[in-house]
Amino acid sequence: MDRTMNDIWGMILAAGSGTRLAEAAGGERKQYIEYKGAPLFWHCARTFSRVAGVRGLVFVFPPDDAPGMEKRLRQFFKTEDLGVRWTVVPGGERRQDSVRNGLTGLPKECGRVLIHDSARPFVSARLITDLVAALDAEARGVIPAVPVTDTIKTVAGNTVTGTLDRAELAAVQTPQGFEIALLREAHDRALDEGWEVTDDASMVERLAEVTVIPGEAGNVKITVPEDLKRLRETRTPVSCTGWGYDVHRFGGAADRPMVLGGVPIPGGPSVVAHSDGDVLLHALADAILGTFGGGDIGTHFPDSDPNFDNADSGVLVREVLAMAERADTRIVHADLTVVTQIPRLAPHAAQIAKNVARLLGLEAHQVNVKATTEEKLGFTGEKRGIKAVACVTGLREM
């Protein structure tokens, strides 16, 4: 693949008729069913937008609905800007036709795509991130799958004809990620040779190796009327607060260049640290851990471990965010303060806040960054070091 075409887009498939659910859903197509105040396809879009590598989204709707849904999406993005580019494409008669149409909506610089069924509204940002990582590691196609736990038999009429080895079986989910060129080739072959498939991997695996990564048990598909109960099952979100504090002393020319919130600070004093010395992100990581009782970063990333020598603190923050997600905790706000006599941080505060918001997958108004001095008192006032405090608010499903 030409790595100059490295952009990744998501494709949200919302073009199905939903006939199996129509009566139970009051005639509403399942992609439009409301869950927690928003249709299922919008929940998928929100999750995709929280993954840093995703540049844009293609929404595929039924042809008759596409013009109206484009107007509706404009309003959605006006009310809740997800921070990604987007477009709407009319779908086709079959799922594979809708994907083929959706490919026409991708920009020329897009080299990879993640195709997702809007009927899977519970997909996590972690799973999408894992798919992106597999593509970054040179996979040409990648799918998530979970082990099959039931015994599977082949049946003809009312008679069992065989029993399959479930150790060799897996239930496949979406999103599914592919190189654009490979996926287009597969769709061209499918059209020319009359292939009928139920997912894109079924095409691509005839042309190239498809990598499998672990899926998620919670990434279920809303398919039959009984599945609607999942949308009615509610868990109470409980507010939780975490507090973090970190200190680094200033060093000499051989120590780490100053970085705050992932932003290099030109002309700032160097810091003595085992990792990259980002005192603000270290405090933030501790505060995130505090929202769900996850301990501290010294436990998870000890300075005695050579693997964390000069480690990127942004990676550590993403790791503790993944821990929070596994603990059913969603971070919704961060208030951060840097305490130092030098350097002057006002020129950098906006960029630091923007970068922290990106790391956390939050809107700008959900992250606040402040800088202050201690009036020349203490070790910061004497210009011997820097410290940061972080207060993070999360919502934990109970």
Question: What pLDDT, on the 0 to 100 scale, is given for residue 259?
Answer: 94
Question: What pLDDT, on the 0 to 100 scale, is given for residue 4?
Answer: 44
Domain-located, residue 318: yes
Task: Please indicate, yes or no, whether residues 168 and 248 belong to a single structural domain of this protein.
Answer: no
Task: Please indicate, yes or no, whether residues 31 and 169 belong to a single structural domain of this protein.
Answer: yes
Provide the CATH number for the domain around residue 305: 3.30.1330.50
Question: What pLDDT, on the 0 to 100 scale, is given for residue 212?
Answer: 97
Task: Please indicate, yes or no, whether residues 241 and 255 belong to a single structural domain of this protein.
Answer: yes
DSSP 99-152: HHHHHTTS-TTEEEEEEEETT-TT--HHHHHHHHHHHHTT-SEEEEEEE--S--
DSSP 254-291: TSBPPEETTEE-TTPPPB--SS---HHHHHHHHHHHHH
Question: What pLDDT, on the 0 to 100 scale, is given for residue 32?
Answer: 84
Question: What pLDDT, on the 0 to 100 scale, is given for residue 274?
Answer: 81
Contact indicator for 378, 387 with CB cutoff of 8 Å: no
Domain-located, residue 2: no
- The whole-angstrom separation of Cα 333 and Cα 291 is 11
Question: What pLDDT, on the 0 to 100 scale, is given for residue 21?
Answer: 54
How confident is the model over 251-286, as pLDDT tens digits?
987 788 999 999 999 989 999 988 888 999 999 999
Question: What pLDDT, on the 0 to 100 scale, is given for residue 20?
Answer: 54
Domain boundary among 232, 254, 275: 232
Task: Please indicate, yes or no, whether residues 196 and 255 belong to a single structural domain of this protein.
Answer: no
Task: Please indicate, yes or no, whether residues 46 and 139 belong to a single structural domain of this protein.
Answer: yes
Domain-located, residue 1: no
Domain boundary among 169, 198, 232: 232
Task: Please indicate, yes or no, whether residues 208 and 261 belong to a single structural domain of this protein.
Answer: no
Task: Please indicate, yes or no, whether residues 91 and 130 belong to a single structural domain of this protein.
Answer: yes
Domain-located, residue 97: yes
Domain boundary among 199, 214, 232: 232
Residue 151 has which token pair?
Answer: 């015994």
Task: Please indicate, yes or no, whether residues 270 and 284 belong to a single structural domain of this protein.
Answer: yes
Task: Please indicate, yes or no, whether residues 187 and 242 belong to a single structural domain of this protein.
Answer: no
Domain-located, residue 192: yes
Domain-located, residue 356: yes
Domain-located, residue 183: yes
Question: What pLDDT, on the 0 to 100 scale, is given for residue 348?
Answer: 94
Half-sphere CA count of 383, side-chain side, radius 13 A: 7
Residue 149, strand partner residues: none
Q: Which residues of the chain have pLDDT under 50?
A: 1-4, 24-25
**233 Cβ contact partners less than 8 Å away, ≥ 6 residues apart:** none
Residue 6 CA, chain-centre distance (Å), reads 17
Residue 192 has which token pair?
Answer: 């020319």
Task: Please indicate, yes or no, whether residues 215 and 146 belong to a single structural domain of this protein.
Answer: yes
State the DSSP H helix or E strand holding residue 351, giving kind and residue range, or none if neither: helix 349-360
For CA atoms 110, 355, 242, 238, give the dihedral sign.
negative
Provide the CATH number for the domain around residue 225: 3.90.550.10
Question: What pLDDT, on the 0 to 100 scale, is given for residue 3?
Answer: 47
Name the residue among 131, 132, 98 with its Cα closest to residue 13.
98
Question: What pLDDT, on the 0 to 100 scale, is given for residue 146?
Answer: 95
Task: Please indicate, yes or no, whether residues 110 and 218 belong to a single structural domain of this protein.
Answer: yes
Burial per residue of 61-88, b for 16 or more beta-carbon CB atoms within 10 angstroms, e otherwise: bbeebbeebbebbeebeeeeebebebbb
Contact indicator for 372, 265 with CB cutoff of 8 Å: no
Question: What pLDDT, on the 0 to 100 scale, is given for residue 236?
Answer: 67
- Domain of residue 289 covers 237-397
Task: Please indicate, yes or no, whether residues 143 and 279 belong to a single structural domain of this protein.
Answer: no
User: At which residue do the structure tokens 């396809």 appear?
Assistant: 41
Number of domains in the chain: 2
